[in-house]
């Protein structure tokens, strides 16, 4: 059975490989949450996520015969990189099965550690099924991302580091996908200080484990859809669910809009790049999902930082629009010399910075002699945008 001693042994095994990541006070988030909030920055871990802890601990406990055959794993990215790097440390073969939709940055990260990558399945669970079959056919040891005691023990070392940095802790907020991280951490916290409240946060688009926790029985979901690809797990694990039912106090979820706002907040205010899965705890605090923690000392785990740059650019762009720092308007002008010049002069007078402009005179919805002008501009917030709309309406450019 998994116990605190196994987690201490794991800490000893992995100490020369993993980074004891920073654990630091977050003033802006503390003000928003009305609590003393500290961030455990596993996004700064080797490979960019906590997964190296469990992967290395597992491979370190394999027999020599198992190592000689090599290992196989299924992962959306972070566990994959953890297994790949761990295998390279021991000089053994590693084959990683990744979903077909895996971001290129994570595929390249795995390959950079010398592992072979095979893309199979539309989600983690389909990749997992392929990996199990592939491992049996090729005599490779399967390294599960969460249904394994040695892996869970390795993940639990995050809790030991937090307690070394802050003994007087009231609660900890932990991202949940398959449940390996929270299983190990919750066991460690409850063994050392049972008074610490352990709270799991999942993505509402991947509800299997949350539903299972509430019903106290494993319930799989039919599909998953979330920007937090690191916790997009379709099926509930009976093994991690059992650990959670024993040691976890609360389980909540956040949606993609809330996750995206947390990613942008961490980037702007904390100067941290955190992927969707790693940002769910911050999202829960920002969006008042954890009101019971007001006035408490709270640790939040930022589980990973391997963010798809393409998705990050979309999140930034949408965030700028929602916060009033960018706006787009379309107006209809008479298509003659000077019309566009006068329109842009008005925007200049209003201190709106044009970043993109499109001119369309061929749309079938236009009257002959008219043109649609679509302008993207940088603005200074909602008040500034309202002023722009009012002036353009008074000048006859906007109707209604």
Query: 203-235 in b/e burial notation, b at 16+ Cβ within 10 A?
Result: bbbbbbbbbbbeeeebbebeebebbbbbbbbbb
- Catalytic: which of 41, 221, 303, 326? 303
The single residue of 51, 210, 297, 326 carrying the catalytic annotation is 51
Mark whether 380 is an active-site residue. no
Pairing of strands 116-119, 141-142: unpaired
Here the tokens at position 381 are 């917030």
Encoded tokens for 329: 């308007």
Buried b (16+ CB within 10 A) or exposed e, 64-101: eeebebbbbbbbbbbbbbbbbbbbeeeebbbbbbbbee
Question: Is 296 a catalytic site residue?
Answer: no
Write out the two tokens for 176.
């949940």
Q: Beta partners for 299?
A: 38, 172
Is residue 162 within 8 Å of 184, Cβ to Cβ? no
Q: Which helix (H) or strand (E) holds 392?
A: helix 382-394
Helices (H), 276-381: 276-286, 309-322, 339-349
DSSP letter (8 states) at residue 291:
G
By annotation, the residues acting in catalysis are: 51, 303
């Amino acid at each position: 059975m998994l116990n605190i001693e196994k987690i201490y042994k794991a800490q000893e095994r992995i100490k020369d490989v993993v980074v004891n990541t920073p654990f630091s006070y977050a003033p802006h988030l503390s003000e928003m949450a009305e609590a003393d909030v500290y961030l455990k920055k596993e996004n700064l871990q080797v490979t960019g996520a906590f997964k190296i802890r469990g992967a290395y601990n597992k491979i370190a406990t394999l027999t020599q015969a198992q190592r000689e055959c090599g290992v196989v794993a299924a992962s959306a990215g972070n566990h994959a990189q953890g297994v790949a790097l761990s295998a390279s440390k021991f000089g053994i073969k590693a084959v990683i099965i990744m979903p077909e939709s895996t971001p290129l940055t994570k595929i390249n990260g795995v390959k950079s550690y010398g592992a072979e990558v095979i893309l199979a399945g539309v989600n983690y669970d389909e990749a997992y099924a392929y990996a199990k079959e592939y491992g049996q056919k090729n005599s490779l040891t399967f390294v599960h991302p969460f249904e394994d005691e040695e892996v869970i023990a390795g993940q639990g070392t995050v809790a030991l580091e937090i307690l070394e940095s802050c003994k007087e802790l009231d609660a900890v907020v932990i991202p949940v996908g398959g449940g390996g991280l929270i299983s190990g951490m919750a066991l460690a916290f409850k063994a050392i200080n049972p008074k610490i409240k352990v709270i799991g946060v999942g993505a509402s688009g991947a509800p299997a484990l949350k539903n299972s926790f509430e019903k106290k029985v494993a319930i799989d979901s039919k599909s998953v859809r979330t920007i937090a690809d690191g916790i997009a797990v379709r099926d509930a694990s009976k093994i991690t669910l059992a650990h959670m039912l024993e040691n976890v106090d609360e389980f909540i979820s956040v949606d993609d809009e809330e996750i995206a706002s947390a990613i942008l907040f961490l980037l702007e205010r904390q100067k941290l790049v955190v992927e969707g899965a790693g940002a769910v705890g911050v999202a829960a605090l920002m969006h008042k999902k954890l009101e019971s923690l007001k006035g408490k000392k709270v640790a939040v785990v930022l589980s990973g930082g391997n963010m798809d740059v393409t998705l990050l650019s979309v999140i930034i762009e949408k965030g700028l629009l929602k916060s009033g720092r960018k706006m787009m308007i379309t107006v209809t002008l008479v298509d003659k010399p000077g019309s566009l010049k006068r329109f842009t002069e008005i925007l200049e007078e209003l201190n709106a910075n044009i970043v993109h402009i499109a001119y369309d005179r061929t749309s079938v919805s236009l009257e002959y002699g008219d043109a649609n002008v679509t302008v993207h501009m940088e603005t200074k917030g909602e008040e500034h945008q309202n002023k722009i709309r009012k002036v353009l309406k008074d000048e006859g450019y906007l109707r209604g």
